[in-house]
C-alpha cells in the first residue's frame, strides 16, 4: 500500500541490494543526475547523500525528476510522458500551453488524460506549479518582483502579478516584508501547500491548487486586520517537519500551535476532528451526535468545510453516512490517499506492537 515505507536508511540498503519487495512501492530520486528509478534499477548505485526516496512516481515527477530509461519506473506509458517530463526538467521556467504541445505533434487532450492517470494532475498544471514555486522562492528570499517573474518564466510582469494575485490575493509588488503573517510554499508528496503563520501560531495550511484559497487568504487577512507577506516563521518550520514525519509514515501527531478563526460551534467541531484517531473515520451525523446536537448535521458539514488547516485538523477523516468519500477542498483523490496513508501506518503500528513483548509491571 502507498506510503507504508520504512526509513530512508532501510530503503538505501534495499537499493544497494536491488530488493524486489519494494518494486512499485518505493522510488529513488537522485539529486546528482535528476533521474528517478526503481530500487531494482541495474544502473550503478548513487551515493547515499544524493538519494531521496518517494512512495510514488508522481511524487518524483512533481519534484522535477525525470524517469530512468533503464528501469522505466513509470512502467508501460506513452513515450511522450517521459519526453515531456525531461523537457520540463531541462527548462522548468518554460511557459507551456496546449499550442506548444500541439507544435510537438501531441494531442493536448491525450496528454491531459495520460498525466492525470499517472500523476493525478495535468502536464500544464505541473508546469505551472513549477514556475510559481520558483517565483515564490525568489520573493521569499528578498528578490525583486522582476527577478521572481523571470525565474518563474512568465512572459510579462502582469501575468506573474495576476498569478500571485490569484494565489495570495495581492500583487507581489505590494509586499513590504513587514507583514506579521508570512506565507510560504511547502512541498509534499500530494502537491504544494501554502502555510501562513506568525511567530505564535499556524493560521492556514492549504493545498496550493485549492480553488477557494484566494478567498480564504483574503478572509484571514481581514480577520487578523493585517496583510499577508512572503516568508516563514518558526511555526512554518515546525509544521513542515511534522508534515515530513506524517508523509513518511513515522508520526501523525501535530503539535504546532494553531490559530483557530471560527465561531464557538465551529471550533468545537474542529476539536472533535482532531480527536478522531489516525486511520479512523467518522460521519457528519456521528460528530453532530458527539456534540449533543444530532440535528446539526448540515452545520457540522459547513464547519468541516470551513477548516483552513488541512491535515493537522483532519477534516479528511469525515465521510458520508453510507461510507462514501464526500467533498474535500483538496480533491477527493487526496482525501483517499490521506486515509490510505493513515490506515497503512496504523496497521503497521499495530503489527509492531504485537511483536513487541510487554514490559513487566512496575511494583
User: Which residues are known catalytic residues?
Assistant: 315
> What are the cell numbers at 231?
516568508
Q: Say if residues 172 and 139 touch (Cβ distance below 8 Å).
A: yes
DSSP for 169-183 reads SS-GGG--S--SEEE
Which of 1.10.10.60, 3.30.930.10, 3.20.20.70, 2.60.40.1120 would CATH assign to domain 93-175?
A: 1.10.10.60
Q: Nearest-5° angle of CA 323, CA 324, CA 327?
A: 130
* Per-residue pLDDT tens listing for the chain (363 residues): 344 578 888 999 999 999 888 887 889 999 888 889 999 998 899 999 889 888 877 778 767 788 888 888 877 677 888 888 888 877 777 888 899 999 999 998 998 888 887 776 788 887 877 777 777 777 777 777 778 777 777 767 777 777 777 777 777 777 777 888 998 888 888 878 899 999 999 999 998 878 788 888 888 988 888 888 888 899 999 999 999 999 888 889 999 999 999 899 999 999 999 999 998 999 999 999 999 999 999 999 999 999 999 999 999 999 888 777 777 877 888 888 898 888 877 654 444 333 333 333 333
Examine domains 93-175 and 178-350 and report if their fold is the same.
yes
31 DSSP β-pair partners: none
Q: Whose grid coordinates read 548505485? A: 45
Model pLDDT, residue 272 = 95
CATH 1.10.10.10 for domain 178-350:
yes
Domain ranges of the chain: 1-76, 93-175, 178-350
Model pLDDT, residue 131 = 78
CATH superfamily placement of domain 1-76: DNA Methylphosphotriester Repair Domain (3.40.10.10)
Model pLDDT, residue 204 = 96
- Give the residue among 266, 342, 167 at the shortest CA–CA distance from 334: 342
Q: H-helix or E-strand containing 194?
A: strand 193-197
Amino acid at each position: 500500500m502507498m506510503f507504508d515505507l520504512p526509513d530512508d536508511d532501510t530503503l538505501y540498503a534495499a537499493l544497494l541490494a536491488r530488493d524486489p519487495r519494494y518494486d512499485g512501492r518505493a522510488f529513488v530520486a537522485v539529486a546528482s543526475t535528476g533521474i528517478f528509478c526503481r530500487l531494482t534499477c541495474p544502473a550503478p548505485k548513487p551515493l547515499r547523500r544524493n538519494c531521496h526516496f518517494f512512495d510514488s512516481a508522481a511524487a518524483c515527477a512533481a519534484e522535477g525528476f525525470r524517469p530512468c530509461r533503464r528501469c522505466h519506473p513509470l512502467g508501460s506509458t506513452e513515450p511522450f510522458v517521459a519526453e515531456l517530463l525531461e523537457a520540463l526538467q531541462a527548462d522548468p521556467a518554460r511557459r507551456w500551453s496546449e499550442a506548444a504541445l500541439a507544435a510537438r505533434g501531441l494531442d493536448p487532450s491525450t496528454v491531459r488524460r495520460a498525466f492525470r492517470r499517472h500523476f493525478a494532475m495535468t502536464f500544464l498544471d505541473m508546469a505551472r506549479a513549477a514556475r510559481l514555486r520558483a517565483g515564490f522562492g525568489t520573493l521569499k528570499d528578498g528578490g525583486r518582483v522582476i527577478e521572481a517573474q523571470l525565474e518563474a518564466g512568465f512572459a510579462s510582469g502582469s501575468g506573474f502579478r495576476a498569478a500571485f494575485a490569484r494565489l495570495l490575493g495581492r500583487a507581489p509588488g505590494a509586499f513590504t516584508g513587514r507583514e506579521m503573517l508570512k506565507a510560504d510554499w511547502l512541498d509534499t508528496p500530494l502537491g504544494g501547500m501554502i502555510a501562513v503563520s506568525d511567530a505564535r501560531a499556524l493560521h492556514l495550511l492549504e493545498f496550493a491548487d485549492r480553488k477557494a484559497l484566494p478567498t480564504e487568504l483574503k478572509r484571514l487577512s481581514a480577520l487578523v486586520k493585517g496583510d499577508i507577506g512572503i516568508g516563514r516563521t518558526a511555526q512554518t518550520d515546525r509544521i513542515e517537519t511534522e508534515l515530513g514525519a506524517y508523509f513518511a509514515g513515522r508520526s501523525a501527531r501535530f503539535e504546532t500551535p494553531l490559530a483557530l478563526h471560527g465561531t464557538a460551534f465551529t471550533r468545537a467541531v474542529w476539536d472533535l476532528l482532531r480527536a478522531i484517531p489516525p486511520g479512523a473515520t467518522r460521519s457528519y451525523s456521528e460528530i453532530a451526535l458527539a456534540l449533543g446536537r444530532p440535528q446539526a448535521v448540515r452545520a457540522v458539514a459547513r464547519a468541516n468545510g470551513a477548516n483552513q488547516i488541512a491535515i493537522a485538523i483532519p477534516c479528511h477523516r469525515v465521510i458520508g453516512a453510507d461510507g462514501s468519500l464526500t467533498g474535500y477542498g483538496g480533491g477527493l483523490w487526496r482525501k483517499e490517499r490521506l486515509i490510505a496513508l493513515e490506515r497503512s501506518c496504523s496497521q503497521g503500528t499495530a503489527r509492531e506492537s504485537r511483536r513487541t513483548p510487554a514490559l513487566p509491571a512496575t511494583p
